[in-house]
Structure 1
Amino acid sequence: MKRVKQKIFQDYIARQGLKSTRQRDIILDAFLSSDRHLSIEELYLKLRAKHPNIGYATVYRTLKLFAESGIAREIHFGDGQTRYEHVSEGEHHDHLVCTGCGTIIEFENESIEKLQDEVAAAHNFLIKHHKLELYGLCAKCRS
């Protein structure tokens, strides 16, 4: 899947008339190797130790390109930070967000998806996309 996303991104930047650069490749590899919802700063700090020549603005612009190309999605959990997550065709998940420590848990629930479809159908509504975010305290913060 990583190679597919790399190819999608390379094709996108070529169509945009942009160059494939070593810095973009490094940022892409770090992003695709992470299983977290990364903020710009988190990814920048992760890269800075090994690649001090990659600046914050480069990470910012590159993450924006990932979102534009369709391999990443910008998400906002109400804490003022934009985070980025991987996007896979046909995949959908929702989020539990801890308001104590900021932990984000992804989950899938077929019953919730079915209920959303039923509610939409009852109102003659066509869902194009949606997001479900539940906010509260994780087990660690509750104890």
Structure 2
Amino acid sequence: MNLYKKQSYNTKARKYILEYLKEHKDVTVSAADIIMHLKSLDITVDQATVYRCLNRLVGDEMLLKFTQSGDKATVYQYKEPCRSCDEHIHIKCVKCGRLMHLECEFMRDIKQHLETEHGFTLMCSGSILYGICDKCK
């Protein structure tokens, strides 16, 4: 049984792209990363197909899509079927690219503080705080 809400047609390109994303689910990847990987496997998929597939996977809620503020580059991360990323903030290591989900009580306290004390509703979807992880220090 598929845990995703929506079903989408499967193509070979989609299959290869999804496999790559699942294998790299702890980091964000760009369309260029995916294209290079497919080329290394001698799989020919044009750039438009990759972007179309990524957009469909985002629409099907199978991927998270982030636009990096500095260079406006878009990166993607595979989303586990049962995980809701609208309820927590993300942290990303600027050295290794690992993206982690902050699902701790502390973040709930911050959200509540912002709402109560400042009348500000924090929108966690697509949020990323950048820093250096413990493995890269």
Q: What TM-score, normalized to structure 2?
A: 0.71
- SS in structure 2 at match of 1:134: strand
Partner of 1:16: none
- What is the CA distance between 1:52 and its match in structure 2? 2.6
Q: Cα deviation per residue 1:45-97 (whole Å; 9 max; x = unaligned)?
A: 11112243222221111111110111112102223310001224335441134
Task: Give 2:17's aligned residue.
Answer: 27
Percent of paired sites with the same residue: 19
Question: Does 1:76 find its partner at 2:67?
Answer: yes
- Measured in 1, the distance between the counterparts of 2:30 and 2:97 equals 13
CA distance in 2, matches of 1:113, 1:132: 14
Moved more, 108-117 or 85-94: 85-94
Change (3 A) 1:59 1:103: same
* Alignment pair present for 1:61 and 2:52: yes
Moved over 4 A (4+): 123-128, 136-142
SS at match of 2:64: strand
1:75–1:131: structure 2 CA closer, same or farther, 3 Å change rule?
closer
2:93 and 2:131 in contact (8 A); partners too = yes
- Give RMSD over aligned pairs: 3.0
1:110 and 2:105 aligned: yes
Query: Any unmatched runs of 5+ in structure 2?
Result: none
Aligned length: 130
Alignment partners' CA distance in 2, 1:140 and 1:30? 23
How far did 1:102 drift?
A: 6.3
Query: Contact between 2:65 and 2:126, CA under 8 Å: does it hold in 1?
Result: no
Q: TM-score, normalised by structure 1?
A: 0.69
Query: Could you tell which deviates more after superposition, 33-42 or 44-53?
Result: 44-53
Q: Which has more helix, going by share of residues?
A: 1
